Structure 1
């Protein structure tokens, strides 16, 4: 445990703790693999869950206080350097951020901007959100130095478990500090018989396709951006 935590928090090499904890390099590496796998298996459901209704209400209130009604947060892609890194678009396509929304299970969101009504929350992206995401990821890197440099393992499963473990422990720290100080931080049985397969469009599939189209609708996207510009100008135009 000591060797594993030193590798995660200080980013030291596995053989750098040989004399300190009296175990070999290979044992340290195997201990790290077992540790991160166990943390993800035991704590993912609690500390990597999707936002619930209370979380969404809090996020919407925070966004509204900053002049962005309906905003759920900022989104950007931060790369952990490997020779096989994906670009931002591929990373977002593989992300589960919008999975509940496409499945029709996301918490309802309704708000009005510039006298136009919307029923889907949004995330700020690109340059405006980059500083927020980089700042949040910087906090994670400061606590767990192992995610600062190049990835040290070739198997993506191990790399994913390591990153998820760091995020889980970061969320544990935030939860503990929030409870201790009373402060809400801004950062942040299978049947043996197989069912018959139908090739007809099911209502759930049709709903999924419709939700996916709503998320990617360019007209709504452009309208929302224009409404936000006018809304922010109404709030802060006189001060410019």
Structure 2
């Protein structure tokens, strides 16, 4: 109904996890902070449930680690929103009303726009991954809806403990990476930006040059 499309209603009506549940999604396993995870995740705000496939921010970060994670998570969410903005700017068909279209046509149009956008990025030499025409994608075995494997994946996605473990591991990973890039002192980080202990010296040297 009009006016009822809040985030949770859209989530429950949207087939977001169907490919994962039916085994159609590509392998998205990864290791963070020494622990392996099977499925990718989406950055979201506090309204979303504590699923293993959602990573939310800290509402009230109490230490530097959580403050840094909050900055990184919110930055990723802004990147995702900007990506849709770029698509709408480049492919104006996405900006037009589509209430008279069916779901299959909407999927085809959006997929075509994403493919065209990626082709443009690749042609400009700004692609972040590469592939060749000889690459073979082996389709995974499809899992039947209602089978034991299907429901086991439902439980894995809705695993609250896994959600909190991923939350913790990502926080530690981002903090450790910041220490590695900086000088090893987390107290000297400036709101998530890389700290350069020689920056002040460089500024003073520039001022001396200007005076000379």
Q: TM-score, normalised by structure 1?
A: 0.47
The match for 2:44 is 125
The match for 1:230 is 172
1:224/1:154 Cα in 2 relative to 1: closer, same or farther (>3 Å)? closer
Q: Does 1:180 align with 2:123?
A: yes
Q: Aligned-residue CA RMSD in angstroms? A: 3.3
Report how many residues are paired.
Answer: 140
The match for 2:209 is none
Runs of 5+ unmatched residues, structure 2: 46-72, 130-143, 180-185, 190-212
CA deviations 1:10-48 (Å, max 9, x no partner) are: xxxxxxxxxxxxxxxxxxxxxxxxxxxxxxxxxxxxxxx
1:130/1:85 Cα in 2 relative to 1: closer, same or farther (>3 Å)? farther
The question of whether the paired residues in 2 share the 8 Å contact of 1:178 and 1:184 is answered with: yes
The match for 1:219 is 161
CA deviations 1:65-95 (Å, max 9, x no partner) are: xxxxxxxxxxxxxxxxx94562212222233
Q: How does 1:101-120 map to 2 (within 5 A)?
A: 101-120=20-39
Runs of 5+ unmatched residues, structure 1: 1-81, 187-201
1:169/1:108 Cα in 2 relative to 1: closer, same or farther (>3 Å)? closer
After TM superposition, where is structure 1 displaced by more than 6 Å over at least 4 residues in a row?
none
CA deviations 1:71-125 (Å, max 9, x no partner) are: xxxxxxxxxxx94562212222233332121123433343332222323322222
The question of whether the paired residues in 2 share the 8 Å contact of 1:111 and 1:119 is answered with: yes
The match for 2:6 is 87
Q: How does 1:31-180 map to 2 (within 5 A)?
A: 83=2, 86-126=5-45, 128=74, 129-145=76-92, 147-148=94-95, 151=97, 154-155=99-100, 158=101, 160=103, 163-164=106-107, 166-180=109-123
The question of whether the paired residues in 1 share the 8 Å contact of 2:30 and 2:36 is answered with: yes
SS in 2 for 1:112: strand
Q: TM-score, normalised by structure 2?
A: 0.52
Deviates more, 1:160-169 or 1:215-224: 160-169
1:215/1:183 Cα in 2 relative to 1: closer, same or farther (>3 Å)? same
Instruction: Tell me the distance in 1 between the aligned counterparts of 2:27 and 2:120.
Output: 29
